[in-house]
Amino acid sequence: MKKEESVLKTYEIAKERYAALGIDTETALNRLQDIAISIQCWQADDVTGFENLGNLGGGGIQATGNYPGKARNIDELRRDIEQVLTLVAGKHRLSLHAIYGDFGNKVIDRNEVEPAHFQSWMEWAKEKGLKLDFNSTSFGHPKSGDLTLAHPDASIRTFWIEHTKRCRVISETMGRFQNDPCIMNLWIHDGMKDLTVNRYKYRQLLEQSLDDIFAVEHKNMKDCIEAKLFGIALESYTVGSYDFYLGYGAKKQKIVTLDTGHFHISENVADKISSLLLFTPEIMLHVSRPIRWDSDHVVILNDDLAELTKEIIRSGALNRIHIGLDFFDASINRIGAYVIGIRSTQKALLQGLLEPLAQLREYEANGQYFERLALLEEAKGLPWNAVWDYFCLKNNIAVGEDYISLIQQYEKEVTAKRIAN
C-alpha cells in the first residue's frame, strides 16, 4: 500500500474512533490550520543578528554548539526560513529581533534603529504570506553589561529606553503594514551575578523605564513583557522576575510572556494560563524546553508541552493566546531544529483539540473522578497521530519522518556549503 493510501485509511478509522467520543476530527483539523505559530528567527543563526557592531554575546543567554551551516546574512536566513515553511503546514508568523535589521554595511546603533531597516523584511514577509512579530534586543552590546533599563546611570538607561521606544515604532509600522498587530516582546537580561543589596532600587528603575517606554499608545502593535528566573552569569538576582512583570502586567494591562524555560524546573507553566487570562489582557508564549536550566533545547512533544496546549484549548481563549517559539540549538542541523519544534508544537495543539473535553467536564461535574482520570488516561492513546499524518498529507507537506531526508538534501545542497565566519 502506498503511504498516501495508508494515511487516508488510518485517518478514516481514527475519525470514527473519535466520533464515537463525540469529537469531530475535521473541526479539530480546521482549528489547527488556523493556529499561527510565531517562529523565532534566531534559531537560524544562533542569536547573532546582522548588526555591524560586533555582537558581544552575553546578556544571560547562550547558544551552544557549532554545527556547520548557520545563516550568515539576511539572504541565507530568509532562505532557511523559506525552507522550514515547506516542511510545516499552516500559515505562521516570524519573530524578528532588533539586531536582525537590514542594515546593509552601515553601523546602526541600537538607539538608531528605525522602520526603514525592516522594510525589506516586511516586503519579504508579505510575499511569503508571513506576519511579523518583533523583539527589542538588550543583549550583545557594549552598553549592556549586567544592567540596561534598570541601570542606575541615567545615560545608559536612556539609551535603552530610546532603543525600546524605537522598537515599538518599528512594531507599529510592521503591524500597520501587515494589517495585523505585531506582537512586540520586551525581554532584558538585567540582573546580578552575586548578591545585591539594592533589589528594590533596580526594580523601581525598571518600572520607571517601562512607564516611560509605554507612555505612547500604539494601535497596531501589542506589548509583551517577559520574565526570567536567572541568566547565565547573572544567577543571584533578576530585576525582571516573574512577580515583577506579573504585577506590572496586571496593573498596567500589558501582556505577560511566559517562556516555558524561565521557571523553576518543577513549576507547572500550564497552570499559569488560566490565572493570566483572568488578570492580563492576553498571553504570549515562548515555547522552549529547559533541561536542568533555561537551556533552550528544541521543543519536543513531552508532557509539559501537552499539558500547556491542553490548558490553552481548555481555556477557550485561543484568540487571546499568542504562541511563539524560543529555542536555539546550535549543535544540530538548524533547519531540522525548527521543523521538529514547530511540528511538535502543532502535534501538541492537535492533541488538545482532540481531547474529549465535554465528556471529561461532565464527569467532573458529576463528581465522577475515577471516570475522569480513566478517560484522561485513555485519551493519551487515542489515534491522534493518524489525524496528524492526515493533516500533513492534506497540506501537501512531508508525512511523518519523511522530512528527515528533505532536510538532509537541503543540508547537502545549501547549509553544508556555508563556511563559518
> Site residues (CB under 6 A) for ligand RNT?
42, 47, 61, 135, 187, 226, 228, 259, 286, 294, 326
- Residue choice 146, 172, 259, 294 for contact with Zn ion (CB under 5 A): 259
**Cell matching residue 376:** 484522561
Taking the C-alpha atoms of residue 353 and residue 358, their distance in angstroms, rounded to an integer, is: 12
- 3-state SS assignment for residue 363: helix
Q: Of the ranges 92-100, 154-162, 322-330, 385-393, which one interacts with Zn ion (CB under 5 A)?
A: 322-330
Least distance between ligand RNT and beta carbon 362 (Å): 39
User: Cβ 247 to ligand RNT, closest distance in Å?
Assistant: 19
CB-neighbour burial class of residue 408 (10 A; exposed 0-12, middle 13-18, buried 19+): middle
CA dist 268 and 289 (Å) reads 13
What are the cell numbers at 372? 475522569
Residue closest to 94 by CA, chosen among 110, 78, 83: 78
Alpha-carbon gap, residue 344 to 197, rounded angstroms:
43
CB contact at 8 A, 175 and 44: no
User: Residue 258 and residue 284: Cα distance in Å, rounded?
Assistant: 6
The active-site residue out of 70, 163, 262, 272 is 262
User: Which residue out of 45, 46, 226, 311 is catalytically annotated?
Assistant: 226
Q: CB 250 → Zn ion: shortest distance, Å? A: 20
**Max intra-chain CA distance, the chain:** 70
- As beta bridge partners, residue 93 has 38, 131
Q: In angstroms, what is the minimal distance from the CB of 150 to ligand RNT?
A: 16
User: Is 102 annotated as catalytic?
Assistant: no
39 binds, among ligand RNT, Zn ion, none (CB under 5 to 8 A by kind): none
Can residue 326 be called a binding residue for Zn ion (CB under 5 A)?
Answer: yes
Active site residue 228: yes
Do the bridges between strand 237-238 and strand 321-325 make them parallel or antiparallel, or are there none, so unpaired? unpaired
- Determine, following the binding rule CB under 5 A, whether residue 343 of this chain makes contact with Zn ion: no
Q: Is 70 in the site for Zn ion (CB under 5 A)?
A: no
Write each residue from 271 to 290 as x if it is in contact with Zn ion (CB under 5 A), else as -, in one continuous string: ---------------x----
Tell me if residue 160 is catalytic: no
- Which of residues 46 and 389 has its CB atom nearest to ligand RNT in the complex? 46
Catalytically annotated residues: 187, 226, 228, 259, 262, 286, 294, 296, 326
Binding site for Zn ion (CB under 5 A): 259, 286, 326
